[in-house]
Copies of this chain bind each other. A is one copy, B any other.
Amino acid sequence: MSNIIAVDVMGGDYGPSITLPACHSFLNRTSDVCHLFGDANKITPWMLSLPKRLQERAHIFHCPEVIDNHTSAKDAIRKFRQSSMRLAIQSVQSGQTQAVVSAGNTGALMALSKIILSMIDGIDRPAIAKALPNLSIDNEDKFTIVLDLGANTQCVPKNLLDFAVLGLALHRCLIQDQATRSIKLLNIGAEEIKGNDLVQDTAQLIKRHSNLPYAGFIEADSLFTADADIIVCDGFSGNIALKTSEGLANLIIKRLKAAFEGSISSQVGALLLKKALKEKLGVLNPARHNGAFILGLNGIVIKSHGSATQEGFCTALNFASQQVHHDILKKVQIVMKDL
């Protein structure tokens, strides 16, 4: 079945120059439909260049305004009534589309989504989640869902309980209903006595819910080892962990490239290693993992990285389609009913 995905064409550091080619790839690979929200003057020429069979699955919705990265959440809500981001989210709310993808201003996307789509009954705050790859050599298809990655800088235990519920529902979408083994809490030690009041109190709260497969604390050196299916944390810690890993991976890759570009013998060595490096380090390519899930809303919202490449934005579109297909909102309801 075809899903209909709303695309905020204008969002992100590169806007239509990235989002439109990504839509092209996405339309090519799926039978889904894209509703394109943005400046029709920019979208139309691209649209006309598409093969006919793809044109049929792309629809333009002209929006005269753009929310840029400097717009405050407050302004995004009060002003910019005709922005591509706002109208794309509204299309989900009205049922015209089934999910929205934007690479725009995260704060604005969160705030607008919350107001337009409203929260799921019983969930107090939205959370940002990502599926982090397993970087251990074995079980490369495994991953860990980590949330919240920055939506909530200050949390109470009930928020983290909600994140556990949302993470479980997302995990069930991504693994297509295999069993979820473990939800763990991010902490500075694995021992039960470790941590601050928030993680201690949250552990007690989550333990009371027997349908949540709670499995104790986990340290941040296990974020990329698939030792947990889901890792729950407050948005401050989660954001620190995410950005630390993004920054470090980026720097190491740059150093590697510098090593490869050195002497002639290094260049020959790099050539000989090309295949093996691609195989072992390809997993570090951010484009493969682009797309954060904004969970807890009555609607599917995917945030692409602002600087995502065409391949990356296409990954985010695929995530949206996958979530529609596996009906995450229904899965959240099921988990909550059993709580």
Contacts and interface: CB of A to CB of B under 8 A. Distances in A.
Contacts of A260: 273, 276
Contacts of A272: 265-266, 268-269, 272
A196 B280 CA distance: 38
B247 A221 contact: yes
Contact of A252 (B135, B239, B270, B273): B135
A265 B220 CA distance: 36
Contacts of A271: 269
Contacts of A265: 272-273
Most chain-B CB neighbours within 10 Å: which of A249, A252, A265? A252
Contacts of A154: 196-197
A153 to B, nearest CB: 4
B245 A196 contact: no
A215 interface: no
A120 B236 CA distance: 30
Given A196-B153, A225-B251, A250-B221, A188 B268 contact: no
A19 interface: no
A235 B263 CA distance: 43
Contacts of A244: 220-221, 223, 240-241, 244-245, 248
Contacts of A280: 255-256, 258-259
Nearest to A272: B269
Contacts of A247: 219-225
A44 interface: no
A195 interface: yes
A277 interface: yes
A237 interface: yes
B221 A246 contact: yes
A121 interface: no
Q: Is the interface of A mostly helix, strand, loop or mixed?
A: helix
Contacts of A325: none
Interface string A53-65: 0000000000000
Interface residues on A, range: 35 or more
A141 interface: no
A320 B247 CA distance: 30
A339 interface: no
Given A219-B243, A237-B236, A247-B221, A256 B270 contact: no
A263 B239 CA distance: 39
Contact of A259 (B243, B258, B266, B276): B276
Interface string A195-232: 11100000000000000000000011111110000000
A137, A242, A248, A260, most chain B CB atoms within 10 A: A248
B269 A188 contact: no
11 contacts: A196-B236, A241-B244, A244-B248, A245-B248, A255-B281, A255-B283, A263-B276, A265-B273, A266-B276, A269-B271, A269-B272
Given A150-B188, A263-B276, 17 more contacts: A136-B254, A137-B258, A220-B247, A221-B250, A223-B248, A236-B237, A241-B241, A241-B244, A244-B248, A248-B248, A256-B277, A256-B280, A259-B277, A259-B280, A268-B272, A269-B276, A273-B273
